């Protein structure tokens, strides 16, 4: 595991993520059940374009992402009180081979090592209520949480949905080793596709 100590959403943070799959995009590679995603080919194209151009098209913020960043700090403070643990903010984390990464919303450290982590969502009120009524991690975020566990080797990850004035949803998620195996296979196949495609495209440009 490598911790790239860049402030999230900084130019250095975006650069560190270029051309590799991340936890926030892993649902485009495999589903929460471990099946291949129908978006895998398009995801590969996105990562190839990042490698070739040296830039990401995902760096444009939306109203909801900006709102989420503003509320995330409040949610993190609440979660520290509930868990009775200090939550440390980090930048971008990759596996040792840098084939996949994640940007946790916070980690819980023990003697300098990542013991647990947190994933915080600050959706609009109606969506938060939907999550509360379901009482489980929304399927679209399961892969993201499991990828964080896979990359960091943490023993557990806390999922928190937060909306001011309404009870939060706080759930503890443990590693799914079977899913991790499927993720590893999918990541290896993805990088083979990326490398082969880049080689083919570069050869064409030389002719």
Walk me through the domains of the chain, giving residue ranges and CATH numbers. Answer: 2-206 (3.90.320.10)
Average pLDDT taken over every residue of the chain: 91
pLDDT (mean) for 94-119: 95
d(C-alpha 142, C-alpha 140), whole Å: 6
Taking only the tens place, the pLDDT of each residue in 192-202 is 999 999 999 87
* Residue 152: per-residue pLDDT: 97
22 touches 103 (CB < 8 A): yes
Using DSSP, state whether 204 is helix, strand or coil. Answer: helix
Quote the tokens at residue 71: 């509320």
Distance CA 194, CA 120 (A): 31
Look at residue 3 in the predicted model and tell me its pLDDT: 92
- What is residue 67's predicted lDDT score, i.e. its pLDDT? 59
Average pLDDT score over residue span 107-133: 95
Give how far Cα 188 sits from Cα of 112, 185, 192, Å: 30, 5, 6
CA gap 40, 136 in Å, rounded: 26
Per-residue pLDDT tens digits for 53-100: 988 877 555 555 555 567 899 999 999 999 999 999 999 999 999 999
Residues in the chain: 207
pLDDT at 76: 95
pLDDT(36) > 90? yes
Where residue 37 falls among pLDDT bands split at 50, 70, 90? Answer: very high
121 beta partners: 161
Q: How far apart are the first and last CA of the chain?
A: 40
- For residue 157, pLDDT over 80 is answered with yes
Question: Which residues, 6 or more positions from 23, have their beta carbon under 8 angstroms from its beta carbon?
Answer: 100, 101, 102, 103, 143, 144, 145, 147, 148, 151
pLDDT at 69: 67
Neighbours of 182 (CB within 10 A): 17
Residue 7: its pLDDT value, please?
A: 86
Buried b or exposed e, range 60-95, using 16+ CB within 10 angstroms: eeeeeeeebeebbeebbebbeeebebebeebbbbbb
pLDDT band at 43 (very low <50, low <70, confident <90, very high): very high
Secondary structure letter of residue 99 according to DSSP: S
């Amino acid at each position: 595991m490598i911790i790239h100590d860049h402030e999230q959403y900084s130019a250095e943070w975006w650069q560190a993520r270029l051309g590799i799959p991340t936890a926030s995009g892993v649902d485009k590679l495999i589903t929460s059940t471990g099946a291949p995603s129908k978006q895998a080919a398009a995801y590969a194209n996105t990562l190839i374009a990042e490698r070739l151009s040296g830039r990401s098209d995902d760096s444009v913020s939306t109203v909801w992402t900006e709102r989420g960043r503003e509320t995330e700090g409040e949610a993190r403070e609440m979660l520290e009180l509930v868990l009775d643990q200090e939550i440390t903010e980090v930048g971008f984390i990759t596996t040792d081979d840098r084939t996949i990464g994640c940007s946790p919303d916070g980690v819980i450290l023990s003697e300098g090592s990542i013991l647990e982590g947190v994933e915080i969502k600050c959706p609009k009120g109606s969506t938060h209520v939907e999550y509360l009524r379901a009482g489980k991690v929304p399927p679209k975020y399961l892969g993201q949480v499991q990828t964080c566990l896979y990359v960091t080797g943490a023993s557990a990850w806390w999922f928190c949905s937060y909306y001011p004035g309404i009870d939060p949803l706080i759930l503890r998620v443990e590693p799914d080793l079977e899913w991790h195996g499927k993720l590893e296979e999918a990541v290896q196949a993805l990088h083979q596709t990326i490398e082969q495609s880049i080689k083919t495209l570069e050869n064409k440009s030389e002719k």
